[in-house]
Structure 1
Protein backbone atom coordinates (compact mmCIF):
# COMPACT_ATOMS: atom_id res chain seq x y z
CA UNK A 1 0.00 0.00 0.00
CA UNK A 2 1.30 3.43 -0.85
CA UNK A 3 0.46 6.56 1.07
CA UNK A 4 -0.51 9.54 -1.05
CA UNK A 5 2.32 11.54 0.51
CA UNK A 6 4.93 9.31 -1.12
CA UNK A 7 3.26 8.55 -4.43
CA UNK A 8 5.31 9.69 -7.41
CA UNK A 9 5.08 9.76 -11.15
CA UNK A 10 6.24 6.15 -11.15
CA UNK A 11 2.78 5.15 -9.96
CA UNK A 12 1.32 5.99 -13.34
CA UNK A 13 3.43 3.32 -15.04
CA UNK A 14 2.58 0.79 -12.35
CA UNK A 15 -1.13 1.51 -12.71
CA UNK A 16 -1.15 0.86 -16.43
CA UNK A 17 0.10 -2.69 -15.96
CA UNK A 18 -1.80 -3.52 -12.78
CA UNK A 19 -4.58 -6.06 -12.93
CA UNK A 20 -6.79 -3.74 -10.90
CA UNK A 21 -6.35 -0.60 -8.85
CA UNK A 22 -7.94 0.69 -5.68
CA UNK A 23 -8.08 4.34 -4.68
CA UNK A 24 -9.15 4.96 -1.10
CA UNK A 25 -10.93 8.22 -0.30
CA UNK A 26 -11.74 9.75 3.04
CA UNK A 27 -15.30 11.03 2.89
CA UNK A 28 -16.32 13.80 5.28
CA UNK A 29 -20.02 14.56 5.59
CA UNK A 30 -22.38 16.87 7.46
CA UNK A 31 -25.65 14.93 7.05
CA UNK A 32 -27.63 17.02 9.58
CA UNK A 33 -28.25 20.58 8.41
CA UNK A 34 -29.52 21.53 11.88
CA UNK A 35 -26.24 20.54 13.54
CA UNK A 36 -23.30 21.46 11.34
CA UNK A 37 -20.86 20.44 14.06
CA UNK A 38 -21.99 16.83 13.65
CA UNK A 39 -19.41 15.63 11.12
CA UNK A 40 -19.14 12.03 10.00
CA UNK A 41 -16.08 10.54 8.36
CA UNK A 42 -15.59 7.17 6.68
CA UNK A 43 -13.57 5.55 3.93
CA UNK A 44 -14.73 4.64 0.43
CA UNK A 45 -13.07 2.74 -2.41
CA UNK A 46 -12.85 3.45 -6.11
CA UNK A 47 -11.84 0.16 -7.76
CA UNK A 48 -10.78 0.32 -11.41
CA UNK A 49 -10.20 -2.58 -13.78
CA UNK A 50 -10.06 -2.40 -17.56
CA UNK A 51 -12.77 -0.06 -18.73
CA UNK A 52 -14.90 -0.15 -15.62
CA UNK A 53 -14.94 1.15 -12.07
CA UNK A 54 -16.99 0.65 -8.92
CA UNK A 55 -17.34 3.05 -5.99
CA UNK A 56 -18.58 1.93 -2.57
CA UNK A 57 -18.15 2.45 1.16
CA UNK A 58 -15.48 0.38 2.87
CA UNK A 59 -17.95 -0.48 5.65
CA UNK A 60 -20.42 -1.76 3.07
CA UNK A 61 -17.80 -4.21 1.81
CA UNK A 62 -16.95 -5.35 5.35
CA UNK A 63 -20.61 -5.88 6.28
CA UNK A 64 -21.30 -7.83 3.09
CA UNK A 65 -18.23 -9.98 3.73
CA UNK A 66 -19.44 -10.85 7.23
CA UNK A 67 -22.95 -11.65 6.00
CA UNK A 68 -21.53 -13.75 3.17
CA UNK A 69 -19.50 -15.89 5.60
CA UNK A 70 -22.56 -16.39 7.79
CA UNK A 71 -24.61 -17.53 4.82
CA UNK A 72 -21.88 -19.96 3.78
CA UNK A 73 -21.58 -21.48 7.24
CA UNK A 74 -25.28 -21.34 8.05
CA UNK A 75 -24.41 -19.66 11.35
CA UNK A 76 -26.02 -16.29 11.86
CA UNK A 77 -24.47 -15.51 15.20
CA UNK A 78 -22.75 -12.16 14.99
CA UNK A 79 -21.50 -9.36 17.16
CA UNK A 80 -24.24 -6.73 17.04
CA UNK A 81 -21.89 -3.98 18.20
CA UNK A 82 -19.45 -4.87 15.43
CA UNK A 83 -22.18 -4.66 12.79
CA UNK A 84 -23.39 -1.39 14.29
CA UNK A 85 -19.89 0.05 13.96
CA UNK A 86 -19.87 -0.92 10.28
CA UNK A 87 -22.95 1.08 9.39
CA UNK A 88 -22.44 3.57 6.58
CA UNK A 89 -23.92 6.81 5.36
CA UNK A 90 -23.08 5.69 1.82
CA UNK A 91 -25.13 2.54 1.44
CA UNK A 92 -24.96 2.49 -2.35
CA UNK A 93 -22.76 1.26 -5.18
CA UNK A 94 -21.88 3.25 -8.29
CA UNK A 95 -20.63 1.46 -11.40
CA UNK A 96 -19.10 3.35 -14.32
CA UNK A 97 -18.49 2.07 -17.83
CA UNK A 98 -15.77 4.10 -19.52
CA UNK A 99 -16.67 3.01 -23.03
CA UNK A 100 -20.34 3.97 -22.87
CA UNK A 101 -19.91 6.71 -20.21
CA UNK A 102 -22.84 5.15 -18.34
CA UNK A 103 -23.08 5.47 -14.56
CA UNK A 104 -25.27 2.96 -12.74
CA UNK A 105 -26.39 3.78 -9.20
CA UNK A 106 -27.52 0.87 -7.00
CA UNK A 107 -29.10 1.16 -3.58
CA UNK A 108 -31.50 -0.61 -1.28
CA UNK A 109 -34.65 0.79 0.22
CA UNK A 110 -35.36 -1.68 3.02
CA UNK A 111 -35.56 -5.11 1.37
CA UNK A 112 -35.72 -3.91 -2.26
CA UNK A 113 -32.67 -3.38 -4.46
CA UNK A 114 -33.00 -0.56 -6.99
CA UNK A 115 -30.81 0.55 -9.88
CA UNK A 116 -30.96 3.59 -12.11
CA UNK A 117 -28.76 5.08 -14.80
CA UNK A 118 -27.58 8.61 -14.07
CA UNK A 119 -29.20 10.87 -16.65
CA UNK A 120 -27.62 14.23 -15.82
CA UNK A 121 -24.43 15.29 -17.62
CA UNK A 122 -21.54 16.58 -15.56
CA UNK A 123 -20.20 19.64 -17.35
CA UNK A 124 -16.87 20.77 -15.96
CA UNK A 125 -15.24 24.17 -16.19
CA UNK A 126 -11.46 23.76 -15.90
CA UNK A 127 -9.92 26.67 -14.03
CA UNK A 128 -6.35 28.00 -14.19
CA UNK A 129 -5.67 27.49 -10.48
CA UNK A 130 -3.16 24.73 -9.61
CA UNK A 131 -1.88 23.30 -6.34
CA UNK A 132 0.04 20.32 -5.03
CA UNK A 133 -1.85 17.72 -2.99
CA UNK A 134 0.55 15.18 -1.51
CA UNK A 135 2.97 14.59 -4.36
CA UNK A 136 0.37 15.25 -7.03
CA UNK A 137 0.30 18.35 -9.16
CA UNK A 138 -3.38 19.15 -9.50
CA UNK A 139 -5.60 21.61 -11.31
CA UNK A 140 -8.94 22.96 -10.21
CA UNK A 141 -12.27 22.43 -11.95
CA UNK A 142 -15.86 23.34 -11.14
CA UNK A 143 -19.27 21.90 -11.92
CA UNK A 144 -22.90 22.31 -10.93
CA UNK A 145 -24.45 18.96 -10.08
CA UNK A 146 -27.57 17.85 -8.20
CA UNK A 147 -28.17 21.19 -6.55
CA UNK A 148 -24.61 21.85 -5.38
CA UNK A 149 -21.54 23.64 -6.69
CA UNK A 150 -18.56 21.28 -6.66
CA UNK A 151 -14.85 22.11 -6.77
CA UNK A 152 -12.47 19.36 -7.82
CA UNK A 153 -8.71 19.01 -8.05
CA UNK A 154 -7.53 16.50 -10.64
CA UNK A 155 -4.12 15.19 -11.68
CA UNK A 156 -2.96 14.11 -15.11
CA UNK A 157 -0.23 12.05 -13.41
CA UNK A 158 -2.71 9.18 -12.93
CA UNK A 159 -4.20 8.03 -16.27
CA UNK A 160 -7.85 7.61 -15.23
CA UNK A 161 -10.57 10.13 -16.03
CA UNK A 162 -12.50 9.07 -12.95
CA UNK A 163 -13.11 9.98 -9.34
CA UNK A 164 -15.22 9.25 -6.26
CA UNK A 165 -19.01 9.05 -6.23
CA UNK A 166 -20.46 10.01 -9.63
CA UNK A 167 -17.63 12.40 -10.45
CA UNK A 168 -15.68 11.75 -13.66
CA UNK A 169 -14.88 13.30 -17.02
CA UNK A 170 -11.81 15.38 -16.16
CA UNK A 171 -8.46 14.73 -17.91
CA UNK A 172 -7.08 12.74 -14.98
CA UNK A 173 -7.93 11.25 -11.61
CA UNK A 174 -9.83 13.42 -9.15
CA UNK A 175 -7.69 13.73 -6.02
CA UNK A 176 -10.11 15.92 -4.10
CA UNK A 177 -13.66 17.14 -4.61
CA UNK A 178 -15.85 19.15 -2.23
CA UNK A 179 -19.03 21.17 -2.41
CA UNK A 180 -18.95 24.94 -1.98
CA UNK A 181 -20.83 24.84 1.35
CA UNK A 182 -18.39 22.39 2.91
CA UNK A 183 -21.03 19.72 3.51
CA UNK A 184 -19.29 16.92 1.59
CA UNK A 185 -15.65 16.28 0.78
CA UNK A 186 -13.81 13.37 -0.87
CA UNK A 187 -10.03 13.26 -0.34
CA UNK A 188 -7.71 10.67 -1.83
CA UNK A 189 -5.65 9.00 0.90
CA UNK A 190 -4.23 5.77 -0.53
CA UNK A 191 -3.63 3.91 -3.77
CA UNK A 192 -2.74 0.27 -4.25
CA UNK A 193 -2.83 -2.58 -6.72
CA UNK A 194 -5.32 -5.38 -6.09
CA UNK A 195 -6.03 -8.74 -7.74
CA UNK A 196 -9.59 -7.87 -8.68
CA UNK A 197 -12.22 -5.26 -7.96
CA UNK A 198 -14.75 -5.82 -5.19
CA UNK A 199 -17.76 -8.01 -5.90
CA UNK A 200 -21.02 -7.79 -3.98
CA UNK A 201 -23.46 -10.67 -3.67
CA UNK A 202 -26.83 -10.14 -5.27
CA UNK A 203 -29.91 -11.47 -3.46
CA UNK A 204 -33.25 -11.29 -5.17
CA UNK A 205 -33.91 -9.26 -8.27
CA UNK A 206 -32.92 -5.67 -8.92
CA UNK A 207 -35.67 -3.21 -9.77
CA UNK A 208 -34.48 -1.06 -12.67
CA UNK A 209 -36.14 2.34 -12.62
CA UNK A 210 -35.65 5.87 -13.84
CA UNK A 211 -33.79 8.16 -11.48
CA UNK A 212 -36.91 10.23 -10.77
CA UNK A 213 -38.88 7.11 -9.78
CA UNK A 214 -36.15 5.97 -7.39
CA UNK A 215 -35.93 9.40 -5.79
CA UNK A 216 -39.71 9.47 -5.34
CA UNK A 217 -39.61 6.09 -3.60
CA UNK A 218 -36.70 7.20 -1.44
CA UNK A 219 -38.45 10.44 -0.53
CA UNK A 220 -41.58 8.56 0.54
CA UNK A 221 -39.46 6.35 2.78
CA UNK A 222 -37.72 9.36 4.34
CA UNK A 223 -41.01 11.11 5.03
CA UNK A 224 -42.69 8.09 6.60
CA UNK A 225 -40.25 5.26 7.39
CA UNK A 226 -42.72 3.78 9.90
CA UNK A 227 -45.26 3.09 7.16
CA UNK A 228 -42.58 1.45 5.00
CA UNK A 229 -41.37 -0.68 7.90
CA UNK A 230 -44.93 -1.74 8.70
CA UNK A 231 -45.52 -2.72 5.08
CA UNK A 232 -42.35 -4.80 5.14
CA UNK A 233 -43.43 -6.75 8.23
CA UNK A 234 -46.80 -7.46 6.57
CA UNK A 235 -45.13 -8.62 3.33
CA UNK A 236 -45.59 -12.13 2.09
CA UNK A 237 -43.23 -14.71 0.64
CA UNK A 238 -39.63 -15.39 1.64
CA UNK A 239 -38.93 -11.75 2.41
CA UNK A 240 -41.50 -11.47 5.16
CA UNK A 241 -40.05 -10.22 8.43
CA UNK A 242 -41.76 -11.36 11.59
CA UNK A 243 -41.30 -9.53 14.85
CA UNK A 244 -43.33 -8.80 17.93
CA UNK A 245 -45.03 -5.39 18.23
CA UNK A 246 -42.36 -4.06 20.60
CA UNK A 247 -39.55 -4.95 18.21
CA UNK A 248 -41.38 -3.34 15.34
CA UNK A 249 -42.03 -0.17 17.34
CA UNK A 250 -38.37 0.09 18.34
CA UNK A 251 -37.23 -0.39 14.75
CA UNK A 252 -39.68 2.20 13.46
CA UNK A 253 -38.64 4.75 16.10
CA UNK A 254 -34.97 4.18 15.38
CA UNK A 255 -35.58 4.64 11.68
CA UNK A 256 -37.47 7.89 12.32
CA UNK A 257 -34.61 9.29 14.39
CA UNK A 258 -32.06 8.35 11.74
CA UNK A 259 -34.06 10.08 9.04
CA UNK A 260 -34.32 13.25 11.16
CA UNK A 261 -30.52 13.38 11.43
CA UNK A 262 -29.99 12.71 7.73
CA UNK A 263 -31.76 15.74 6.29
CA UNK A 264 -28.85 17.05 4.20
CA UNK A 265 -28.30 14.53 1.39
CA UNK A 266 -25.42 14.82 -1.03
CA UNK A 267 -27.91 15.43 -3.86
CA UNK A 268 -30.33 18.28 -3.17
CA UNK A 269 -32.25 18.04 -6.43
Structure 2
Protein backbone atom coordinates (compact mmCIF):
# COMPACT_ATOMS: atom_id res chain seq x y z
CA UNK A 1 0.00 0.00 0.00
CA UNK A 2 2.86 2.35 0.89
CA UNK A 3 4.51 1.59 -2.46
CA UNK A 4 1.29 2.35 -4.36
CA UNK A 5 0.85 5.61 -2.45
CA UNK A 6 4.46 6.59 -3.20
CA UNK A 7 4.05 5.89 -6.93
CA UNK A 8 0.75 7.78 -7.02
CA UNK A 9 2.35 10.76 -5.29
CA UNK A 10 5.29 10.74 -7.71
CA UNK A 11 2.95 10.57 -10.72
CA UNK A 12 0.89 13.48 -9.40
CA UNK A 13 4.05 15.52 -8.82
CA UNK A 14 5.29 14.81 -12.34
CA UNK A 15 1.91 15.73 -13.81
CA UNK A 16 1.89 19.00 -11.88
CA UNK A 17 5.44 19.84 -12.97
CA UNK A 18 4.49 19.15 -16.59
CA UNK A 19 1.88 21.87 -16.50
CA UNK A 20 2.49 25.18 -18.22
CA UNK A 21 1.65 28.49 -16.59
CA UNK A 22 -0.31 30.70 -18.98
CA UNK A 23 -0.34 34.47 -18.47
CA UNK A 24 -2.88 36.41 -20.55
CA UNK A 25 -1.88 39.94 -21.56
CA UNK A 26 -4.05 42.58 -23.14
CA UNK A 27 -1.97 44.15 -25.89
CA UNK A 28 -2.85 47.72 -26.93
CA UNK A 29 -1.40 48.99 -30.21
CA UNK A 30 -1.40 52.11 -32.35
CA UNK A 31 0.13 50.34 -35.33
CA UNK A 32 -1.09 52.70 -38.09
CA UNK A 33 1.41 55.57 -38.38
CA UNK A 34 -1.11 57.79 -40.18
CA UNK A 35 -3.97 57.22 -37.76
CA UNK A 36 -2.94 57.19 -34.11
CA UNK A 37 -6.62 57.33 -33.11
CA UNK A 38 -6.99 53.78 -34.41
CA UNK A 39 -6.29 51.85 -31.22
CA UNK A 40 -6.28 48.06 -31.50
CA UNK A 41 -6.48 45.64 -28.58
CA UNK A 42 -6.21 41.88 -28.47
CA UNK A 43 -5.08 39.17 -26.11
CA UNK A 44 -1.77 37.36 -26.22
CA UNK A 45 -0.47 34.40 -24.22
CA UNK A 46 2.82 34.06 -22.39
CA UNK A 47 3.17 30.33 -21.66
CA UNK A 48 5.96 29.48 -19.21
CA UNK A 49 7.51 26.16 -18.21
CA UNK A 50 10.79 25.35 -16.50
CA UNK A 51 12.53 24.94 -19.85
CA UNK A 52 11.13 27.75 -21.98
CA UNK A 53 8.44 30.34 -22.58
CA UNK A 54 6.41 31.25 -25.66
CA UNK A 55 4.60 34.50 -26.45
CA UNK A 56 1.97 34.54 -29.20
CA UNK A 57 -1.45 35.86 -30.15
CA UNK A 58 -4.61 34.19 -28.91
CA UNK A 59 -6.19 34.73 -32.34
CA UNK A 60 -3.09 33.33 -34.04
CA UNK A 61 -3.44 29.95 -32.38
CA UNK A 62 -7.21 29.92 -33.04
CA UNK A 63 -6.66 30.79 -36.70
CA UNK A 64 -3.99 28.10 -37.09
CA UNK A 65 -6.43 25.55 -35.70
CA UNK A 66 -9.21 26.63 -38.09
CA UNK A 67 -6.86 26.55 -41.10
CA UNK A 68 -5.59 23.11 -40.16
CA UNK A 69 -9.16 21.82 -40.00
CA UNK A 70 -9.99 23.44 -43.35
CA UNK A 71 -7.09 21.87 -45.19
CA UNK A 72 -7.69 18.47 -43.61
CA UNK A 73 -11.30 18.52 -44.78
CA UNK A 74 -10.80 19.56 -48.40
CA UNK A 75 -8.11 22.19 -48.76
CA UNK A 76 -8.68 25.68 -50.09
CA UNK A 77 -12.18 24.77 -51.32
CA UNK A 78 -13.33 25.04 -47.69
CA UNK A 79 -11.58 28.35 -47.03
CA UNK A 80 -13.96 30.65 -45.11
CA UNK A 81 -12.71 34.22 -45.49
CA UNK A 82 -15.37 35.66 -43.18
CA UNK A 83 -14.38 33.30 -40.39
CA UNK A 84 -10.70 34.11 -40.86
CA UNK A 85 -11.41 37.86 -40.82
CA UNK A 86 -12.94 37.40 -37.37
CA UNK A 87 -9.62 35.96 -36.19
CA UNK A 88 -7.45 38.71 -37.66
CA UNK A 89 -4.41 39.53 -35.52
CA UNK A 90 -1.84 42.30 -35.42
CA UNK A 91 0.47 39.99 -33.48
CA UNK A 92 1.44 37.62 -36.25
CA UNK A 93 4.82 36.88 -34.67
CA UNK A 94 5.73 34.40 -31.95
CA UNK A 95 8.66 34.57 -29.53
CA UNK A 96 10.35 31.72 -27.69
CA UNK A 97 12.80 32.15 -24.81
CA UNK A 98 15.06 29.24 -23.87
CA UNK A 99 15.64 29.24 -20.10
CA UNK A 100 18.93 27.31 -20.18
CA UNK A 101 20.66 29.26 -22.97
CA UNK A 102 18.82 32.60 -22.55
CA UNK A 103 18.31 32.63 -26.33
CA UNK A 104 15.34 34.56 -27.69
CA UNK A 105 13.96 33.34 -31.03
CA UNK A 106 11.58 35.51 -33.07
CA UNK A 107 9.34 34.07 -35.81
CA UNK A 108 7.12 35.93 -38.24
CA UNK A 109 5.56 35.32 -41.62
CA UNK A 110 6.67 37.32 -44.66
CA UNK A 111 4.60 36.40 -47.67
CA UNK A 112 4.21 32.62 -47.79
CA UNK A 113 7.15 31.67 -45.57
CA UNK A 114 7.97 32.00 -41.89
CA UNK A 115 11.26 33.74 -41.05
CA UNK A 116 13.09 32.94 -37.82
CA UNK A 117 16.00 34.76 -36.22
CA UNK A 118 17.82 34.76 -32.89
CA UNK A 119 17.70 38.10 -31.07
CA UNK A 120 21.25 39.30 -30.37
CA UNK A 121 20.47 42.56 -28.54
CA UNK A 122 20.43 42.15 -24.75
CA UNK A 123 17.92 44.22 -22.77
CA UNK A 124 19.57 46.41 -20.16
CA UNK A 125 17.28 47.51 -17.34
CA UNK A 126 17.47 50.50 -15.03
CA UNK A 127 15.92 49.50 -11.69
CA UNK A 128 14.02 52.20 -9.83
CA UNK A 129 12.90 52.28 -6.20
CA UNK A 130 9.29 53.30 -6.97
CA UNK A 131 6.67 50.70 -6.08
CA UNK A 132 2.90 50.48 -6.32
CA UNK A 133 0.17 47.86 -6.62
CA UNK A 134 -1.40 46.61 -9.84
CA UNK A 135 -4.31 44.27 -9.23
CA UNK A 136 -3.24 41.76 -6.59
CA UNK A 137 0.47 42.28 -7.14
CA UNK A 138 2.97 44.58 -5.50
CA UNK A 139 5.12 45.86 -8.36
CA UNK A 140 8.37 47.76 -8.82
CA UNK A 141 9.35 50.13 -11.62
CA UNK A 142 12.11 49.60 -14.20
CA UNK A 143 13.05 51.30 -17.46
CA UNK A 144 14.87 50.34 -20.64
CA UNK A 145 15.59 51.52 -24.17
CA UNK A 146 14.99 48.83 -26.75
CA UNK A 147 14.65 48.87 -30.54
CA UNK A 148 14.04 52.61 -30.79
CA UNK A 149 11.53 52.97 -27.96
CA UNK A 150 11.79 53.90 -24.28
CA UNK A 151 9.89 51.45 -22.10
CA UNK A 152 8.59 51.59 -18.53
CA UNK A 153 7.92 48.24 -16.88
CA UNK A 154 6.29 47.22 -13.63
CA UNK A 155 7.35 43.77 -12.35
CA UNK A 156 6.40 41.65 -9.38
CA UNK A 157 8.41 39.20 -7.29
CA UNK A 158 5.14 37.69 -6.02
CA UNK A 159 5.39 35.25 -8.94
CA UNK A 160 8.53 33.10 -9.44
CA UNK A 161 9.19 34.00 -13.08
CA UNK A 162 11.82 36.34 -14.53
CA UNK A 163 9.96 36.81 -17.78
CA UNK A 164 7.53 39.06 -19.58
CA UNK A 165 5.59 39.68 -22.79
CA UNK A 166 7.22 40.12 -26.19
CA UNK A 167 11.05 39.94 -25.97
CA UNK A 168 11.13 41.49 -22.50
CA UNK A 169 12.76 39.49 -19.70
CA UNK A 170 15.67 39.69 -17.27
CA UNK A 171 14.03 41.49 -14.34
CA UNK A 172 13.90 39.76 -10.93
CA UNK A 173 10.22 39.00 -11.38
CA UNK A 174 7.36 38.78 -13.88
CA UNK A 175 6.45 41.90 -15.85
CA UNK A 176 2.85 42.83 -15.01
CA UNK A 177 2.72 45.94 -17.19
CA UNK A 178 5.03 47.53 -19.76
CA UNK A 179 4.41 50.55 -22.00
CA UNK A 180 6.48 52.76 -24.29
CA UNK A 181 6.82 56.49 -23.57
CA UNK A 182 4.58 57.45 -26.52
CA UNK A 183 1.78 55.20 -25.26
CA UNK A 184 1.69 53.47 -28.65
CA UNK A 185 2.26 49.95 -27.32
CA UNK A 186 1.39 48.46 -23.96
CA UNK A 187 1.11 44.99 -22.43
CA UNK A 188 -1.09 44.50 -19.35
CA UNK A 189 -1.39 41.25 -17.42
CA UNK A 190 -5.07 40.30 -17.09
CA UNK A 191 -5.11 36.81 -15.58
CA UNK A 192 -3.23 33.53 -15.36
CA UNK A 193 -4.01 29.83 -15.16
CA UNK A 194 -2.42 26.46 -15.86
CA UNK A 195 -2.63 24.46 -19.09
CA UNK A 196 -1.47 20.93 -19.80
CA UNK A 197 1.17 21.81 -22.38
CA UNK A 198 2.26 24.28 -25.03
CA UNK A 199 -0.18 24.37 -27.95
CA UNK A 200 0.74 22.87 -31.29
CA UNK A 201 1.24 25.62 -33.84
CA UNK A 202 0.49 25.01 -37.50
CA UNK A 203 2.83 27.37 -39.30
CA UNK A 204 2.08 26.63 -42.95
CA UNK A 205 4.92 27.16 -45.39
CA UNK A 206 8.68 26.90 -45.07
CA UNK A 207 10.65 28.24 -42.12
CA UNK A 208 13.66 30.35 -43.12
CA UNK A 209 16.40 30.65 -40.48
CA UNK A 210 18.19 33.97 -41.00
CA UNK A 211 20.04 36.71 -39.14
CA UNK A 212 17.98 39.62 -37.84
CA UNK A 213 19.58 41.99 -40.36
CA UNK A 214 18.59 39.63 -43.20
CA UNK A 215 15.06 39.38 -41.84
CA UNK A 216 14.77 43.17 -41.96
CA UNK A 217 16.03 43.18 -45.56
CA UNK A 218 13.44 40.60 -46.60
CA UNK A 219 10.70 42.54 -44.82
CA UNK A 220 11.69 45.72 -46.66
CA UNK A 221 11.62 43.89 -50.01
CA UNK A 222 8.15 42.60 -49.22
CA UNK A 223 6.89 46.06 -48.30
CA UNK A 224 8.21 47.58 -51.52
CA UNK A 225 6.69 44.99 -53.86
CA UNK A 226 4.68 42.20 -52.17
CA UNK A 227 3.71 40.49 -55.41
CA UNK A 228 7.26 40.30 -56.74
CA UNK A 229 8.48 39.03 -53.36
CA UNK A 230 5.92 36.23 -53.27
CA UNK A 231 6.69 35.28 -56.88
CA UNK A 232 10.35 34.97 -55.90
CA UNK A 233 9.35 32.71 -52.99
CA UNK A 234 7.61 30.39 -55.46
CA UNK A 235 10.86 30.01 -57.38
CA UNK A 236 12.97 29.43 -54.27
CA UNK A 237 14.26 32.97 -53.76
CA UNK A 238 14.51 34.75 -50.43
CA UNK A 239 17.72 33.40 -48.98
CA UNK A 240 18.22 31.71 -45.64
CA UNK A 241 18.09 28.08 -44.55
CA UNK A 242 14.79 26.58 -45.67
CA UNK A 243 13.17 24.09 -43.28
CA UNK A 244 9.92 22.14 -43.56
CA UNK A 245 7.30 21.51 -46.18
CA UNK A 246 6.05 24.05 -48.72
CA UNK A 247 2.83 25.95 -48.26
CA UNK A 248 -0.39 24.04 -48.96
CA UNK A 249 -1.70 24.54 -52.50
CA UNK A 250 -4.04 27.47 -52.97
CA UNK A 251 -7.21 27.10 -54.93
CA UNK A 252 -6.95 28.08 -58.56
CA UNK A 253 -10.69 28.34 -58.87
CA UNK A 254 -12.69 31.52 -58.75
CA UNK A 255 -15.55 31.09 -61.21
CA UNK A 256 -15.61 33.99 -63.66
CA UNK A 257 -12.86 35.90 -61.89
CA UNK A 258 -9.73 36.08 -63.99
CA UNK A 259 -6.27 35.75 -62.50
CA UNK A 260 -5.45 39.45 -63.04
CA UNK A 261 -8.46 40.53 -60.98
CA UNK A 262 -7.63 38.08 -58.20
CA UNK A 263 -4.01 39.28 -58.17
CA UNK A 264 -5.15 42.90 -57.94
CA UNK A 265 -7.41 42.11 -54.98
CA UNK A 266 -4.59 40.28 -53.24
CA UNK A 267 -2.23 43.20 -53.75
CA UNK A 268 -4.82 45.62 -52.34
CA UNK A 269 -5.28 43.44 -49.25
CA UNK A 270 -1.52 43.26 -48.68
CA UNK A 271 -1.10 47.04 -49.08
CA UNK A 272 -3.92 47.66 -46.60
CA UNK A 273 -2.32 45.21 -44.18
CA UNK A 274 1.03 47.02 -44.41
CA UNK A 275 -0.66 50.38 -43.85
CA UNK A 276 -2.28 49.04 -40.69
CA UNK A 277 1.17 48.00 -39.47
CA UNK A 278 3.19 51.06 -40.56
CA UNK A 279 4.09 51.95 -36.96
CA UNK A 280 5.84 48.76 -35.77
CA UNK A 281 6.76 47.96 -32.19
CA UNK A 282 10.46 48.06 -33.16
CA UNK A 283 11.50 51.33 -34.79
CA UNK A 284 15.08 50.30 -35.55
| TM-score normalized by the length of structure 2 | 0.83
Contact 1:148 1:179 survives alignment (8 Å): yes
3-state SS of the aligned residue for 1:256?
A: helix
3-state SS in 1 of match to 2:64: helix
Shift of 1:191: 0.2
Give the drift of 1:228: 2.3
Map Cα deviations across residues 190-218 of structure 1 (whole Å, 9 max, x no partner). Answer: 10011111221354542111000001111
Asked whether 1:90 is paired with 2:91, we answer yes
1:44 equivalenced with 2:44 (yes/no): yes
Alpha-carbon contact 1:48-1:54 (below 8 Å) kept: yes
Larger radius of gyration: 2
Distance 1:157 1:209, change over 3 A: same
Gaps of 5+ in 1: 1-15
Q: Over the residues paired in the alignment, what is the CA RMSD in angstroms?
A: 2.2
| CA deviation string 1:3-54 (max 9, x = no partner) | xxxxxxxxxxxxx857111000000000112211000111000011222011
Superposed, 1:9-88 pairs within 5 Å as 19-74=19-74, 76=76, 77-88=78-89
How do 1:134-213 and structure 2 match up within 5 A?
134-213=135-214
Secondary structure of the structure 1 residue equivalent to 2:120: coil
Report if the CA contact (8 A) 1:127-1:140 is conserved. Answer: yes
SS at match of 1:50: coil
Retained in 1: the 8 A contact 2:117–2:215?
yes
Q: Distance in 2 between matches of 1:131 and 1:191?
A: 20
What CA deviation, in whole Å up to 9, does each residue of 1:154-195 have, x standing for no partner? 000010000000000000110001101101000000100111
Distance 1:202 1:233, change over 3 A: closer
Structure 1, 152-161 or 230-239: larger mean CA deviation: 230-239
Query: Structure 2: any 5+ residue segments left out of the alignment?
Result: 1-15, 238-244, 253-257
Q: Secondary structure at the match of 1:99?
A: coil
Maintained 8 Å contact 2:43/2:58: yes
Q: Secondary structure at the match of 2:197?
A: coil
TM score, norm. by length of structure 1: 0.88
Tell me if structure 2 keeps the 8 A contact 1:30–1:39. Answer: yes
Pick which of 183-192 and 238-247 moved more: 238-247
